């Protein structure tokens, strides 16, 4: 029997994301109706791939309640008393049950490693959340600056030292209180060990990427299952290997307009992957960041509207070698996209050479 | 919220005690703990129901789950509407099963499921007009305004946390000082956000306003938490441009800022003169340590005998409270009393009634303010009417009380069964306040109605600005012998009957 600590450690963000890997590969077909029902209702307990979490692994050939399609329909419909399997016939209609039974039937024999083990460490029950390529995890949180300089952050204000105040005395006392390094508006996304990134919703800019891990949230969430403050600065710790850290002023120039004021408007999920949406001045951007084939590679598929005269990117000379584009004219650190190219282009950011 | 630690041992003891229903009493409110998949830490920041009857639970460390409640509290068929971790979800409005409004530390967000597959696919920013200093304490909460917009209560930062080198919104070094502070805009304010996202600061002077609700009559209510400039946790009736006592927020009031004054150095008497007093105050310790979301019982009696009254959760206590409000001389005031004190965990942060009105769900999180208490419980009226003081109302010469069941008329008519006192709390830089100027009051003439359902008690010495605490003696039983479950009430006298 699985011990309790392992059970707790095995908890993944049960995340029935639309479960399709988005990478720099060919488009993946949309999920089957049964798969959609499965990730919505069943993945909570059986894991997104059916390999089991708190519910049993459905991909092996060990049948607890019968292995025919008919048995599966019955188990789904009627549930299993005393085992936490609800009678889904009160929730799902017959067609949905049939579809998800097809999906479950097709899982038999895949023999995926138990989700209990596969999910270890990828949990929001522990302070070590983590996504995967199949199931990216988005976390909006305070973030560390990772050395990103003030020139990248012109739309933030500067937190300053303030006179030290004594809550006990109700007056200022000698000394001052300094701010700590941190960013308020981070959107952190994990694709597992291959890629993680931090996009900033105030500057509407990809700030940094890394690979090999995600975030240690202990200082913000507390240790273990949380509940206790662990520190004073509440800034998560980046785990893994830095791949890219931006610097320099906003690289985007909008020909004919001096206004590149950022305005974050939200994000959409494209097959489970966040597509970040924002304006720079009058131009609307949508940026879908996915992992490349090598660790730390970020594929940034960008579409815009309103860039009637195209766009010009002035990359920081030190970063220029890390960034390529599939379109436009490149002249050293300057990328020029005409209106057609600016409508849809892809920047590929490779890890810094070591 | 209050920076109060609930010792784990005390909580455990309270839980053991709480599990026992009062001896000999038929249970009136049945409390159950709802199970989640063990993959979820249910730090609950928002609760709601869809029109189809699915419960919506928004969490800080998971995302958003939905399930149609089942009779078995361990068998809710949870499904994940969203598994994105927004920045500490603090408030939720359910528009439909395909559209939710969520407030988190950094923005008000419209989350929609455009393709109808049951999974959210769009997260659009409605408003992010307030600042963020990087301090963990700057939570907020929302209430729909009934016209497509929202009211938002925005909490201050805590000296137990830092601010960042990069803040969203202007940084005020003056506002950075204080036990709880307002280093960036609109910390310590109530704001209105219209349907298009336009943000209007509405009222100021708040500390940690962790509960907001619009009443059936349209009045706006906010709970706040005891601490600096908060002698006791208050319930406020919110009026535009009023000031509610915590000075730090004044740094973002243009007229005040123009004076160049340091709000923390204002004389206490000056702050007192500016402030709109609370409608109700919850004394710390015995009554409530950290009031959270208020909800009005609009179930028409399906949740028991308190229809129309307000119920408030306690984040730092294993209890729910009941509030009886009335307007006296144009000003709102009233009494608070314990409501459900058995079977509950601490962390009662968000409340929602089930569509049938018989059940109240309480979403719990303590989130660093004490021993972990992350959970969801439900409280269901069993149909057995508890013996309680149903209402307490001010009269010219004292108070009128009604009971949920006929009272034993002999004991109720005995003045020695009515222990009364009055006191007030100081509002200073210190954390909280002991009761000040406590004076015993005497019950005078008592008239108990022939049916035993009401009584009037004459009291000499009532004055404004005081809380009148009533402790009914255990001898006051119902005519059928039931013990009064919660015999202690606190009435805030803002005005006397003219």
pLDDT digits (tens, 9 = 90+) for B282-301: 999 999 999 999 999 999 99
Altogether, the residues listed in chain B come to a count of: 498
Per-residue model confidence as pLDDT tens digits over B12-68: 333 333 444 444 457 999 999 999 987 788 999 999 999 999 999 999 888 999 999
Which chain B residues are closer than 8 Å to A262 by Cβ? none
Closest CB to A159 among B79, B123, B171: B171
Size of the A and B interface in Cβ pairs below 8 Å: 244
* B425 pLDDT above the threshold of 50: yes
Per-residue model confidence as pLDDT tens digits over B342-375: 999 999 999 999 999 999 999 999 876 666 678 9
B356 and B435 part of one domain: no
B319 and B435 part of one domain: no
Among the residues of chain A, which ranges form H helices?
4-9, 33-37, 43-46, 69-78, 94-107, 115-118, 218-221, 339-343
Query: Chain A within 8 Å of B63 (Cβ-Cβ)?
Result: yes
Provide the shortest C-alpha distance from residue A332 to chain B (in Å): 32
Q: How large is the average pLDDT for residues B261-277?
A: 96
Q: Do A180 and B123 touch (CB under 8 A)?
A: no
Tokens, residue A184: 């308020």
What's the CA gap between A323 and B294, in Å, rounded?
Answer: 53
Query: Chain B within 8 Å of A264 (Cβ-Cβ)?
Result: yes
Q: B352, B381, B410: which is the final residue of a domain?
A: B381
DSSP of B237-271: E--TT-B-S-GGGGGG-HHHHTTT--GGGS-HHHH
B302 and B325 part of one domain: yes
Q: How large is the average pLDDT for residues B216-243?
A: 98
Q: Do B134 and A184 touch (CB under 8 A)?
A: yes
Closest CB to B80 among A15, A158, A225: A15
B1 occurs within a structural domain:
no
* B139 pLDDT above the threshold of 60: yes
Q: Do A125 and B39 touch (CB under 8 A)?
A: yes
B2 occurs within a structural domain:
no
B373 and B394 part of one domain: no
B3 occurs within a structural domain:
no
B27 and B138 part of one domain: yes
Which chain B residues are closer than 8 Å to A229 by Cβ? 136, 160, 368
Closest-CA residue in chain B for A31?
B117
B338 occurs within a structural domain:
yes
Query: Chain A within 8 Å of B266 (Cβ-Cβ)?
Result: no
- Residue numbers of the domain that contains B406: 389-493
Q: Which CATH number fits the domain that encloses residue B48?
A: 2.120.10.30
Q: In chain A, positions 268-307, which contact chain B (CB-CB < 8 Å)? A: 268-269, 274
The pairing of strands B466-472 and B320-328 is unpaired
Q: How large is the average pLDDT for residues B173-189?
A: 97
Closest CB to A179 among B75, B163, B174: B163
B305 occurs within a structural domain:
yes
What is the pLDDT, as a whole number, of residue B302?
Answer: 98
* A113 pLDDT above the threshold of 80: no
Which residues 6+ apart lie within 8 Å of B63 measured at CB?
Answer: A13, A15, B80, B81, B82, B83, B84, B85, B86
Q: Name the DSSP class of B353.
A: E
* A15 pLDDT above the threshold of 80: no
Which chain A residues are closer than 8 Å to B166 by Cβ? 145, 150, 153, 156-159, 182-184
Q: Which CATH number fits the domain that encloses residue B447?
A: 2.60.40.1220
Mutate to test the interface with B, among A10, A31, A44 (most CBs of B within 10 A): A44
Tokens, residue A162: 């303030």
Per-residue model confidence as pLDDT tens digits over A120-158: 434 567 788 889 988 899 999 999 999 999 999 999 999
Query: Chain B within 8 Å of A172 (Cβ-Cβ)?
Result: yes
Query: Chain B within 8 Å of A82 (Cβ-Cβ)?
Result: no
Query: Chain A within 8 Å of B410 (Cβ-Cβ)?
Result: no
B268 and B214 part of one domain: yes
Q: In chain B, positions 96-135, which contact chain A (CB-CB < 8 Å)? A: 104, 106-107, 109-110, 117-125, 128, 132-135
Per-residue model confidence as pLDDT tens digits over A160-170: 999 999 999 99
Distances (CA, A) of B93 to A311, B100, B189, B247, B350: 40, 6, 20, 30, 12
Q: B381, B406, B432: which is the final residue of a domain?
A: B381
B235 and B376 part of one domain: yes
Angle ∠(A50,A12,A132) on CA atoms, nearest 5: 80
Give helix A69-78 / helix A94-107 axis angle, nearest 10°.
Answer: 130
Q: How large is the average pLDDT for residues A183-206?
A: 97
B199 occurs within a structural domain:
yes
Closest CB to B125 among A7, A161, A266: A266
Which chain B residues are closer than 8 Å to A183 by Cβ? 134, 164, 166
The pairing of strands B280-282 and B291-296 is unpaired
Which chain A residues are closer than 8 Å to B107 by Cβ? 201
Query: Chain B within 8 Å of A233 (Cβ-Cβ)?
Result: yes
B300 and B329 part of one domain: yes
Per-residue model confidence as pLDDT tens digits over B450-478: 999 999 999 999 999 999 999 999 999 99
Which chain B residues are closer than 8 Å to A169 by Cβ? 429
* B327 pLDDT above the threshold of 80: yes
What is the pLDDT, as a whole number, of residue B11?
Answer: 36
Residue A13's pLDDT band (cuts 50, 70, 90) = very low
- Average predicted confidence (pLDDT) for chain B: 93
Closest CB to B166 among A86, A158, A163: A158
Residue B254's pLDDT band (cuts 50, 70, 90) = very high
Q: What percentage of chain A reaches a pLDDT higher than 70?
A: 85
B61 and B172 part of one domain: yes
| Torsion (CA) B393, B151, B64, B216 in degrees, nearest 10 | 40
Closest CB to A179 among B87, B165, B370: B165
Q: How large is the average pLDDT for residues B95-104?
A: 98
B377 and B399 part of one domain: no
Q: Do A167 and B179 touch (CB under 8 A)?
A: yes
What's the CA gap between B229 and B244, in Å, rounded?
Answer: 10
Query: Chain B within 8 Å of A117 (Cβ-Cβ)?
Result: no
Which chain B residues are closer than 8 Å to A153 by Cβ? 166
Q: In chain B, positions 423-442, which contact chain A (CB-CB < 8 Å)? A: 428-431
With beta carbons less than 8 A apart as the criterion, state whether B103 and B86 touch. no
B329 and B423 part of one domain: no
B232 and B292 part of one domain: yes
Closest CB to A54 among B39, B123, B169: B39
Residue A84's pLDDT band (cuts 50, 70, 90) = low
Query: Chain B within 8 Å of A318 (Cβ-Cβ)?
Result: no
Which chain A residues are closer than 8 Å to B124 by Cβ? 265-266
Tokens, residue B255: 């007229």
What's the CA gap between B375 and B380, in Å, rounded?
Answer: 17
Q: How large is the average pLDDT for residues B251-263?
A: 94
Of B187, B241, B231, B239, nearest in space to B209 by CA: B187
Q: Do B428 and A43 touch (CB under 8 A)?
A: no
Total domains, chain B? 2
* A19 pLDDT above the threshold of 60: no
Query: Chain A within 8 Å of B268 (Cβ-Cβ)?
Result: no
B421 occurs within a structural domain:
yes
Per-residue model confidence as pLDDT tens digits over A205-233: 999 999 999 999 888 887 766 656 666 78
pTM of the model: 0.86
Q: B316 in helix, strand or coil?
A: coil
Q: B381, B397, B428: which is the final residue of a domain?
A: B381
Provide the shortest C-alpha distance from residue A175 to chain B (in Å): 12
B58 occurs within a structural domain:
yes
Residue B170's pLDDT band (cuts 50, 70, 90) = very high
Mutate to test the interface with B, among A122, A167, A183 (most CBs of B within 10 A): A167
Altogether, the residues listed in chain A come to a count of: 354
Per-residue model confidence as pLDDT tens digits over A24-71: 333 446 778 999 888 888 887 787 788 877 677 888 877 778 888 999
* B246 pLDDT above the threshold of 90: yes
What is the pLDDT, as a whole number, of residue B129?
Answer: 98
């Amino acid at each position: 029997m699985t011990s309790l600590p392992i059970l707790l450690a095995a908890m993944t963000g049960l995340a029935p994301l639309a479960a399709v890997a988005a990478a720099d590969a060919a488009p993946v077909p949309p999920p089957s109706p049964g798969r959609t029902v499965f990730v919505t209702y069943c993945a909570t307990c059986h894991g997104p791939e059916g390999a089991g979490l708190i519910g049993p692994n459905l991909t092996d050939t060990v049948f607890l309640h019968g292995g025919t399609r008919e048995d599966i329909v019955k188990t789904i419909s009627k549930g299993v008393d005393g085992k936490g399997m609800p009678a889904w016939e009160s929730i799902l209609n017959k067609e949905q049950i049939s579809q998800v039974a097809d999906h479950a039937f097709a899982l038999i024999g895949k023999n995926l490693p138990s989700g209990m083990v596969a999910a270890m460490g990828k949990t929001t029950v522990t302070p070590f959340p983590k996504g995967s390529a199949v199931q990216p995890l988005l976390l909006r949180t305070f973030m560390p600056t990772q050395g990103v300089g003030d020139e990248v952050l012109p739309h933030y204000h500067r937190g300053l030292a303030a006179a030290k105040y004594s809550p006990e005395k109700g007056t200022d006392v000698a000394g001052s209180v300094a701010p700590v390094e941190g960013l308020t508006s981070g959107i952190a996304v994990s694709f597992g060990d291959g890629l993680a990134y931090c996009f900033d919703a105030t500057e509407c800019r990809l700030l940094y990427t890394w690979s090999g891990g995600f975030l240690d949230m202990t200082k913000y969430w507390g240790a273990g299952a949380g509940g206790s403050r662990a520190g004073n600065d509440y800034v998560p710790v980046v785990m893994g290997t830095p791949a890219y850290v931006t610097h320099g002023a906003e690289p985007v120039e909008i020909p004919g307009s001096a206004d590149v004021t950022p305005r974050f408007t939200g994000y959409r999920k494209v097959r489970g992957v966040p597509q970040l949406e924002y304006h720079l001045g009058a131009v609307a951007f949508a940026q879908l960041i996915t992992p490349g084939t090598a660790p730390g590679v970020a594929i940034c598929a960008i579409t815009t509207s309103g860039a009637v005269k195209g766009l010009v990117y002035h990359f920081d000379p030190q970063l220029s070698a890390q960034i390529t584009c599939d379109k436009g004219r490149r002249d050293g650190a300057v990328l020029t996209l005409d209106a057609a190219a600016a409508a849809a282009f892809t920047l590929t950011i490779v890890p810094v050479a070591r | 919220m209050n920076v109060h630690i609930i010792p784990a041992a005390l909580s455990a003891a309270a839980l053991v005690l709480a599990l026992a229903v009062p001896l000999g009493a038929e249970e009136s409110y049945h409390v159950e703990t709802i199970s989640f998949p063990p993959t979820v830490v249910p730090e609950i920041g928002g609760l709601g129901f869809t029109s189809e009857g699915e419960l919506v639970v928004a969490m800080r460390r998971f995302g958003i789950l939905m399930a149609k409640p089942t009779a078995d509290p361990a068998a809710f068929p949870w499904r994940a509407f969203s598994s994105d971790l927004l920045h500490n979800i603090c408030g939720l409005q359910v528009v439909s099963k395909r559209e939710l409004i969520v407030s988190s530390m950094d923005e008000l967000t419209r989350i929609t499921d455009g393709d109808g597959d049951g999974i959210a696919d769009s997260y659009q920013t409605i408003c992010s007009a307030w600042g963020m200093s990087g301090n963990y304490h700057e939570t907020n909460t929302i209430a729909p305004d009934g016209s497509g917009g929202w009211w938002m209560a925005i909490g201050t930062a805590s000296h137990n946390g830092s601010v960042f080198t990069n803040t969203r919104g202007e940084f005020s070094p003056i506002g950075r000082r204080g036990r709880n502070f307002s280093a960036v805009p609109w910390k310590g304010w109530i704001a209105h956000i219209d349907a298009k996202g336009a943000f209007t600061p509405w009222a100021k002077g708040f500390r940690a306003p962790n509960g907001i609700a619009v009443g059936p009559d349209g009045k706006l209510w906010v709970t706040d938490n005891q601490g600096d400039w908060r002698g006791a946790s208050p319930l406020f009736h919110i009026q535009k441009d009023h000031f509610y006592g915590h000075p730090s927020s004044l740094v973002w009031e243009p007229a005040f800022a123009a004076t160049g004054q340091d709000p923390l150095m204002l004389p206490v008497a000056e702050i007192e003169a500016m402030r709109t007093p609370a409608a109700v105050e919850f004394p710390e310790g015995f009554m409530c340590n950290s009031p959270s979301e208020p909800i009005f019982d609009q179930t028409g009696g399906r949740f028991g005998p308190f229809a129309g009254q307000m119920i408030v959760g306690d984040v730092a206590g294993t209890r729910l409270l009941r509030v009886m409000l009335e307007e006296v001389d144009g000003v709102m005031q009233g009494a608070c009393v314990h409501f459900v004190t058995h079977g509950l965990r601490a962390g009662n942060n968000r409340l929602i009634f089930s569509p049938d009105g018989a059940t109240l769900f309480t979403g719990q999180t303590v989130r660093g303010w004490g021993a972990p208490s992350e959970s969801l419980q439900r409280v269901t009226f069993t149909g057995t009417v508890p013996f309680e003081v149903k209402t307490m109302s001010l009269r010219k010469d004292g108070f009128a009380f009604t009971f949920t069941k006929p009272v034993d008329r002999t004991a109720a008519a005995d003045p020695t069964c009515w222990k009364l006192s009055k006191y007030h709390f100081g509002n200073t830089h210190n954390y909280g306040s002991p009761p000040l100027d406590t004076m015993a009051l005497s019950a005078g003439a008592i008239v108990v109605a022939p049916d035993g359902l009401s009584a009037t008690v004459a009291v000499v010495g009532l004055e404004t600005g005081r809380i009148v605490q009533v402790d009914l003696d255990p001898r006051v039983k119902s005519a059928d012998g039931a013990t009064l479950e919660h015999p202690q009430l606190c009435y805030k006298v803002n005005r006397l009957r003219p």
